[in-house]
A and B are shown apart, each in its own frame.
Chain A
């Protein structure tokens, strides 16, 4: 008998179907990965299993058999005896998934207290054991600390300790590593694997990242629009995908598709961007100073893409902000060939942010958003500006009928196209892209990357591409600088850095990319 047997499950939000009659099983001790893009119904499925659907969601039909009990018919109150005991949850966002006002120890011990496993002293001892087991040092001292004092990776370990505390037979890991740096991501996934082997726990891994799924699972369930497109043993699905959608996912996932490196012509003009000995210090206390950027230098040739790659805290975003003159450097220089002084600088250099939703004014229409830079610089009359907005939308392949829409009516990919169109409105020569594709689903990400390449060819743009995602960087950039703790540890052409890394840190980063088809 399967550990978990989901049969013909359908879930809807306010009457709109999000999951339409899906069936799959999880056997004891195995890892099943549910893969899909946003809106595919993968998270809804996971939440339905543990009975944590939001108030406006209903299970319309089907069974969720855990052993021989059908959880789909259980009330939320009855589910309290299952949650934590038979099913554990590792959530998506370690930064906000722990109560900020309670100690780590209290929050790990809580699951034991809720289910009355021992007195205060036994629980305190068990908490230390659990924290040690998930690889956290000095567990006793750590138990007295608060979540904000821990790094993202440490918090995710704490959350895993909570999930395994009562040795459940199933752990649902909902995008457990999406918010973490690649090197941390690998260690967390290794930990989940270890615990699975040790306790014989089955893992239902929900992820948008086909690379992670393929790397870590025994079986794959590929979802799209609330339906299962394909399921089967991971190796078989990867080697011989049946569904067209799986093929597309495999093609678009940057970690899985091996493309040619982009190579640049030898530069004929002087470089478009020259950064020399850039330093940025922040005050970290009354007398302490922290160096976010510590002597960074690089050059970017005209019409090419240079990537700054690194993990969180590496100083890559601060560097980008200094390049676009949003932050003043403590010392060092940034020279951008042909850029004017003051406000004219913005006609030459534009920035595209990570979060396309946050960087678009929710009250403006698409037309107003794209037109705004033209109005700011008084470029053309009303009719000329309108024509230009139309051209820009066409360039980024957005249909004309979106002109009157508001950002919230657009998909994530469409929003990022709008942001790119806005950046291109004043005909800049340099575009700085700060994690510009990180928040997007892989198929959308692939489309945006294609668009960026195409625009670069047509308009001769120079890109400074900031990213934590090595697979994306490998695909888009001509040259790369690898940043760690405010310094550039290695730089060179993309092919050289990726095939023959010279620095230990670069090798570590590259090894952390999930790569099932090595």
Chain B
């Protein structure tokens, strides 16, 4: 078991390194750079030679490989360098934005799971075929709704028409309601779909009538046996939606004007603020890798058959 754990952690570290390197190379290949964007304004009156000097100052004038190793070492030690746009340490900018996004993303994810559970369980429990059909078509509807459009519609309906949620000046909790909903709806779709399908699949297993023959009620069968068995493929899917969660929060934060990682990403991209962008790439990769590592380690706990293989 320890060997398995170590190898999995090693793999995770490898993935992170690969994400860092790919991010680094791609950002270096981008045409133009942040120095140009920031200092080319004619009002500043800087000559191309002076801009080149500033650039040399930021990069330390090192050859690319040395610069790469230098940055990698910095990241390994937790120092992400300085934002070119604002001149503040990248860590500070991340620390400012992270709590907002963490709140939004975790609440959004929880709500997505809840929506998925309700849809899949209702469909699994229902014996009326049109209700089942309606429930099972909801995920495809959800996934095809664009996040930005949903956000605007929700603001229109709940804030302006119904006046239920204040647009400006609500409590932090109130301000969270609509963005969380916007984020949760499309993410719930793949989870609901996979869960509903695996519930259907588990129902065809021969052990289900055996449980029924013990005198178990429909709910008992669904909750204690079918759901337990259906959760595994769903967990894999849930882990994969983490990527979508990060992408979704960029749009959601922009639509709702929230200061989070999403907004920071948008600003960094506009300013071609390479150190910030690289830090965000690595942060997103870390979250993704960690969540999926936890899920992988949960598998043998949830399905005893996998313990032998581990």
Contact = CB atoms under 8 A, between A and B. Distances in A.
Nearest to B202: A99
Contact of B207 (A77, A99, A115): A99
Nearest to A88: B213
B77 interface: no
B56 interface: no
Interface string B120-133: 00000001000000
A84 B215 CA distance: 5
Interface string A21-64: 00000000000000000000000000100101001000000000
Interface string A93-117: 1001111111000000011001100
Contact of A91 (B209, B216, B218, B225): B209
Interface string B187-222: 000000000000000000111011111111110100
Contacts of A162: 210, 214
B214 A111 contact: yes
Nearest to B307: A146
A159 B215 contact: no
A148 interface: yes
B60 interface: no
A148 B213 contact: no
A89 B216 CA distance: 13
Most buried by B among A47, A84, A91, A99: A99
Contacts of A510: none
Interface string A474-500: 000000000000000000000000000
Contact of B210 (A55, A76, A77, A98): A98
B161 interface: no
Nearest to B205: A96
Contact of B127 (A55, A89, A100, A102): A55
Interface in A349-393: none
Given A91-B206, A91-B210, A102 B217 contact: no
A83 interface: yes
Contacts of B229: 99-101
Interface in B226-266: 228-229
Nearest to A103: B304
A92 interface: yes
A404 interface: no
Interface in A166-210: none
Contacts of A96: 205-207
Most buried by B among A80, A85, A162: A80
A98 B215 contact: no
A101 B217 contact: no
Interface string A327-360: 0000000000000000000000000000000000
Nearest to A87: B213
Contacts of B220: 114
Chain B interface category by residue count:
20 to 34
B228 A110 contact: no
A275 interface: no
Contacts of A92: 206
Nearest to B303: A101
A480 B205 CA distance: 38
A250 to B, nearest CB: 31
Contacts of A444: none
A159 B210 contact: yes
B44 to A, nearest CB: 66
Interface in B253-310: 302-305, 308
Nearest to B127: A55
A99 B303 CA distance: 11
Given A55-B127, A146-B304, A148-B305, A102 B228 contact: yes
Given A100-B229, A102-B228, A110 B213 contact: no
A82 interface: yes
Given A98-B207, A99-B225, A52 B304 contact: no
A257 interface: no
Contact of B211 (A87, A93, A99, A115): A99
A50 to B, nearest CB: 6
Contact of B217 (A52, A80, A111): A80
Contact of B209 (A52, A81, A102, A148): A52
Nearest to B229: A101
Contact of B213 (A81, A83, A98): A83
A159 B305 CA distance: 19
Contacts of A83: 212-215
Contacts of B213: 50, 52, 83-84, 87-89, 91, 163
13 contacts: A52-B213, A83-B213, A88-B213, A89-B210, A96-B207, A98-B210, A99-B228, A100-B207, A100-B229, A114-B215, A148-B305, A159-B210, A162-B214
Interface of A: 47, 50, 52, 55, 76-77, 80-85, 87-89, 91-93, 96-102, 110-111, 114-115, 146, 148, 159, 162-163
Interface of B: 127, 205-207, 209-218, 220, 225, 228-229, 302-305, 308
Report the 6 A-B pairs with minimum CB-CB distance, sorted nearest first.
Answer: A89-B213, A84-B215, A111-B214, A83-B215, A146-B304, A84-B214
Given A97-B207, A99-B228, A148-B304, 7 more contacts: A52-B213, A84-B215, A96-B206, A99-B207, A99-B229, A102-B225, A162-B210
